[in-house]
Amino acid sequence: MTDVPSIRKGLSRVVIQVSLAWSLAVFGVVWFAVHHKLDEVLDGTLQESAEILYGVLKSNGECLPIGSGGSLPAPPHHERMVWQLVSGDQRVVWRSHSAPAQPLAAVHRERWSADSPEWHVYGIPFDDKGTMLYVAQPHGERRKAQLEAAVLTACGALLVGLTCAVWLRRRAGKELGPLMDLSEQVAHYHPLEPGSSPPLATREELRPVRDAIVHLGDRLAQNITSERAFSANAAHALRTPLAGLGAQLAMLQRESPADVQPRIQRAREASDRLSRVVTALLSLFRSGGEISPKHIALAAFVQDLPLPGLAISVAGDAEVEVDPDLLAAALLNLLDNSVRYGATQVQVSFRREVATVVIRLVDNGPGVDEAARKRIGAALATQHYEQDMGLGLMLADRVARAHGGQLVLVPVELGFGVELSLGLR
Partner 1 sequence: MRLLLLEDDTILGDGLAEFLRVEGHVVDWCRRLLDAQAHQGEPYDVLLVDWQLPDGSGLDWIRSLRRKGVSTPIVMMTARDLLDDRIKGLDNGADDYLVKPFAPEELVARLRALQRRTVGAANARVHIGEVEVDLMAKAVYLQGDRVDVTQREWRVLEALLQRAGRVVSKNDLEALMLGWGGELASNSLEVHISRLRRKLGTDVIETVRGMGYRVTT
Binding site for partner 1 (CB under 8 A): 232, 235-236, 238-248, 250-251, 254-255, 271-272, 275, 278-279, 282, 286, 292, 325
CB of 325 to partner 1, least distance (A): 8
Nearer of residues 106 and 232 to partner 1, judged by Cβ: 232
Nearer of residues 139 and 295 to partner 1, judged by Cβ: 295
CB of 241 to partner 1, least distance (A): 7
Q: DSSP label at 205?
A: G
CA distances to 179, 251, 286, 291 from 283, rounded to whole Å, are 38, 29, 5, 10
| Cβ partners under 8 Å of residue 255, min gap 6 | none
Nearer of residues 169 and 276 to partner 1, judged by Cβ: 276
- Its sign, for the CA torsion 23, 26, 31, 34, is negative
Nearer of residues 153 and 271 to partner 1, judged by Cβ: 271
* Residue-by-residue DSSP string for 40-87: HHHHHHHHHHHHHHHHHHHHTTTTS-TTS--B----S---S-EEEEE-
d(CA 78, CA 133): 21
CB of 338 to partner 1, least distance (A): 21
CB of 220 to partner 1, least distance (A): 20
Contact 210, 198 (CB under 8 A): yes
CB of 201 to partner 1, least distance (A): 34
Contact 87, 141 (CB under 8 A): no
CB of 399 to partner 1, least distance (A): 16
Per DSSP, what are the bridge partners of residue 423?
356
In 156-308, the DSSP E strands lie at 294-297
Give the closest residue to 328 by CA, choosing from 378, 271, 287. 287
CB of 269 to partner 1, least distance (A): 11
For 85-105, b/e burial (b = at least 16 CB within 10 A) is bbbeeeebbbbbebbeeebbb
Nearer of residues 325 and 419 to partner 1, judged by Cβ: 325
Nearer of residues 153 and 283 to partner 1, judged by Cβ: 283
CB of 188 to partner 1, least distance (A): 23
| Cβ partners under 8 Å of residue 133, min gap 6 | 50, 53, 54, 57, 83, 84, 85, 123, 124, 125, 126
d(CA 19, CA 384): 54
Nearer of residues 151 and 250 to partner 1, judged by Cβ: 250
Nearer of residues 109 and 268 to partner 1, judged by Cβ: 268
